[in-house]
Structure 1
Amino acid sequence: MRPVIYFLLAVILCTAACQPQGFTPKPRGFFRVDFPKKEYRLFNEPGYPYSFEYPVYANIVKDTLFFDAKAENPWWINVEFPEFNSKVYMSYKVVGQQNSLDKLINDAFKLTYKHTLKADGIDEVEINTPNNVHGLFYQVGGNAASAKQFYATDSIHHYLRGALYFYAPPNADSLAPMQKFLQEDMWHLVNTLKWKAN
């Protein structure tokens, strides 16, 4: 009787061991991005109150609309990155009675900190270049719509604000490599930014 029990037990264990195990999901993967070589060219158009260097894989497009309204002045531009489906919106304002420096800086702060609902944190890095360019570079963590922003000024006449947006869901994990790559370009733009005489 014992051999029969052992035989049945062995058959039961073998058939149980041969049953397929539960489904194990694979970790989520992301597309590989081949980044272009870092090369820059000069934006120094006549009539614009600023100049800077921008990547050769980007395009400068004049911004004519601001939320379906006419742009405040003719010096608003976008630095478009077609390869990454993104752009840096750049708005320029003249510092003066209508736009005091305090108001402009406060507006930049408010626009950046609107992202706190989705942000994990916001780091502020001070901007000070030999070209009389001062300001803050904001690095917004988490799934914020615009993770990289800055404002730059000479504190007297010029004020320039930039914000990077992707035309994709703001998934911080999948956009992180492109954000890091384009952040370097934004810093290069800021470090080469020069004001023109009024």
Structure 2
Amino acid sequence: MKRIVIPILSLFLIGCGDDPLPKPKGYLRLEYPKANYEKASIPLPFSFEKNTLAEPISSVKSSGSTKGVDIKYPGLKATIYLSYKGVSNGNLDSLLRDAQNLTQKHTIKADEIASNFFENEEEKVYGMLYEIGGDAASQSQFYVTDSINHFLSGSLYFYAKPNYDSLYPASEYLKKDIKRIMETVEWKK
């Protein structure tokens, strides 16, 4: 009898424990490679440094007086669109207003829009970086100008349905690239 009771009693004692609990939701930990930058060689009146993670810039788009390039990040499913216009005949106010209005169109879905002034006195580059929080189509937008001859604007877009929480790691990574573009813009003579 002892031979039967002891093993059964042991099973009950070992098998008893805390009630099973559901596992908490897990989130992906996305890590991106350290950014390495190189000067982008493009036939436009400015130059800048871009992340080597991005595809090489293959072509310049032109539409009237606007010229642009796309900096594509296929691994992140994102593109930074750059548009350049020359400043002439007092059109700087119009260019600034258009860039600011483009950002304000995201207020419908945005939780917040933070603006950060940028100034590089040595290279005569002045501008603004907008960080857009929430499920907006674009997570970052910016413009830089020398206030006399050049105006460059840019927008970050992902090839995915806007979901701020999911896009946040990639958005933060690319925001550093946007800041690097703004910091390294040099106007060509």
Global fold match (TM > 0.5)? yes
Residue 26 of structure 1 deviates from its aligned partner by 4.4
The percentage of aligned residue pairs carrying the same residue is 39
TM-score w.r.t. structure 2 length?
0.82
Q: Which amino acid aligns with 2:29?
A: R
User: Can you list the C-alpha shifts for 1:102-139, whole angstroms capped at 9, x where unaligned?
Assistant: 00000011000000010111111001013110011001
Residue 31 of structure 1 deviates from its aligned partner by 3.2
Residue 191 of structure 1 deviates from its aligned partner by 0.2
User: Can you list the C-alpha shifts for 1:5-35, whole angstroms capped at 9, x where unaligned?
Assistant: xxxxxxxxxxxxxxxx9x96843x4433230
**Distance in structure 2 (CA, Å) of the matches to 1:135 and 1:159:** 9
1:50-69 equivalences in 2 (<5 Å) = 50-59=46-55, 60-62=57-59, 64=61
In the alignment, structure 1 residue 124 sits paired with structure 2 residue 87:
no
In the alignment, structure 1 residue 105 sits paired with structure 2 residue 105:
no
In the alignment, structure 1 residue 33 sits paired with structure 2 residue 30:
yes
CA gap 1:114/1:63 in 2 versus in 1, 3 angstroms: farther
Which moves more between the two structures, 72-81 or 140-149?
Answer: 72-81
Indicate the SS of the match to 1:80: strand
User: Can you list the C-alpha shifts for 1:27-60, whole angstroms capped at 9, x where unaligned?
Assistant: 3x44332301210010133x31000000011122
**Distance in structure 2 (CA, Å) of the matches to 1:158 and 1:74:** 11
Equivalent of 2:185 in 162, 169, 193:
193
CA gap 1:73/1:33 in 2 versus in 1, 3 angstroms: farther
Q: Which amino acid aligns with 1:140?
A: I
- The gaps in structure 1 that reach 5 residues or longer are 1-20, 65-69
- The gaps in structure 2 that reach 5 residues or longer are 1-18
Residue 194 of structure 1 deviates from its aligned partner by 0.3
Indicate the SS of the match to 2:67: coil
Aligned CA-pair RMSD = 2.2
Q: Which amino acid aligns with 2:158?
A: F
**Distance in structure 2 (CA, Å) of the matches to 1:61 and 1:93:** 20
Count of residues paired in the alignment: 170
TM-score w.r.t. structure 1 length?
0.79
Runs of 4+ in 1 over 4 A off after TM superposition: 23-26
Match of 1:18 in 2: none
Equivalent of 1:159 in 113, 137, 151:
151
Are the counterparts in 2 of residues 43 and 51 from structure 1 also a CA contact under 8 Å? Answer: yes
CA gap 1:58/1:73 in 2 versus in 1, 3 angstroms: farther
Are the counterparts in 1 of residues 66 and 85 from structure 2 also a CA contact under 8 Å? Answer: no
Equivalent of 1:172 in 123, 139, 164:
164
**Distance in structure 1 (CA, Å) of the matches to 2:46 and 2:81:** 15
